[in-house]
Chains A and B, each alone.
Chain A
Amino acid sequence: MNTVSGQHLSPDDFDAWLAGALAPDARNHLDHCAECRQQAEAERGIVTLLASLPLLVPAPGFADRVMQSVTLPDPFSLRSLTSARRKLLATPKAAAFAATIALLLVGSMTASIVWSLGHRETLMAVGSWVAQAGWVAVRGVASNLMEQPWFAALRGSLEHPARWGAVSALASFAYVLGVLAFRRLLSLPTQQVAHAGL
């Protein structure tokens, strides 16, 4: 005859039993208590029935219907900037860090403006020297180019206005092609390309 030991199993014990993790004491009780065993078997029966429920699937094309109403984020959009700002202010530590950076930026800009206003003569002298040096450099490069043996031939070939037009058109075309190629290079792929490992 079986001897019942300890208290009846609690709901947590039944959960543990269903998960195969019942404590040894409770296990011992279950082995000898017909009431708890019956309860445990009933619990298992319900769990088995629930697990046998059919797999439900939405109608075909569900993902397409969802995607029609989803707006893909543009990493360079204002919304992303808003999100970055939200992240920066997410915790007190992040907010303090952001405030420090902002303070440093504003402080350095203010210091720069104040210094500039107090040293206008120095800035004018430096500006004048830089402009002079730049002009001398440009003149040096120009005279150097004009002394090249091919310069006269090039100048002669471009004297006719039609040739200027052709060269301008060619340069514009090359520029447009370059811009299009660059855009294509930077755009994110929207489809899987199997052989490219995307």
Chain B
Amino acid sequence: MPSAPEWATLTDQEVVLLARGGREAAYRELVRRYERPVFALVFRMVRNRELAEDLSQETFVKALNAIESYRPEFKFSSWIFKIANNAAIDHLRRRELDTLSLDGSPHAETPEAVQATALQVGARQESPLEAVEAKELGATIEAAIGRLRPEYRSCILLRHVEGRAYEEIAEILDLPLGTVKTYIHRARNELRLALAHLKE
């Protein structure tokens, strides 16, 4: 049985096997490995922090409670991203969403609510000025991504933010490889037009 530092040496499939044996630590390791990318994907799809938390949680609960049905010949990452993407797309189909705000929900009525709904980002070494500029730039890019069609959005996020291979994206989204390539190319073109002013 692996100790905490040894988890890193195990593949996803090996961790899944331990989870199937009833080891809670293995479940936590799977969550630890994928909570950031799943949350990031879902957040950028639905553009609402609280909702993204709920949908990400729902994704993990659904996946981990059905761990017996996971087929090890497929990548675990593909499986969990597929569940997450489906959750996000289902939600987008049900309702239209607000524009993104990195500073908190536009519906927040008090400063505490604004703070509570503000987006938490991972630590990066930046000066205060760089941080403000990066935040503004980030918000501009996020807004441009948010204007893409949901299927383009999934593709471009999985490819250029999460660094997934075309083949894996096709598997996650149940799309032909050619379609995935076309969507990514079109998404890049749309983003290039939307962000052209950033060059100036």
Tell me if A12 is interfacial: C-beta within 8 Å of chain B. Answer: yes
Question: Measured between alpha carbons, how far is A79 from B138 in the docked complex, in Å?
Answer: 46
Q: A75-B21, A194-B4 are in contact. Are A53 and B56 (CB under 8 A)?
A: no
Chain A: CB-nearest residue to B116: A59
Q: Is A54's CB under 8 angstroms from B68's CB? A: no
Q: Report B113 CB to chain A, min CB distance, Å.
A: 15
CB under 8 Å from chain A, chain B span 103-127: 119-122, 124
Question: Measured between alpha carbons, how far is A189 from B39 in the docked complex, in Å?
Answer: 30
Q: Which residues of chain B are near A70, meaning CB under 8 Å?
A: 27, 60-61, 64-65
A residues at B contact (CB < 8 Å): 11-12, 14-15, 42-43, 45-47, 49-59, 62-63, 65-67, 69-75, 79-80, 83, 188-192, 194, 197-198
Q: Is B28's CB under 8 angstroms from A62's CB? A: no
Q: Is A62's CB under 8 angstroms from B56's CB? A: yes
Total of A-B residue pairs, C-beta within 8 Å: 136
Q: Is B22's CB under 8 angstroms from A72's CB? A: yes
B residues at A contact (CB < 8 Å): 1-4, 20-25, 27-28, 31-32, 35-36, 39-40, 43-44, 52-53, 56-57, 60-61, 64-65, 67-68, 119-122, 124, 134, 137-138, 141-142, 145, 156, 160-161, 181-182, 184-185, 188, 191-192, 195, 198-199
Chain B: CB-nearest residue to A198: B1
Q: Is A190's CB under 8 angstroms from B24's CB? A: yes
With beta carbons under 8 angstroms apart, the residue of A46, A50, A57, A65 that contacts B36 is: A57
Q: Report B159 CB to chain A, min CB distance, Å.
A: 9
Q: Is A56's CB under 8 angstroms from B22's CB? A: no
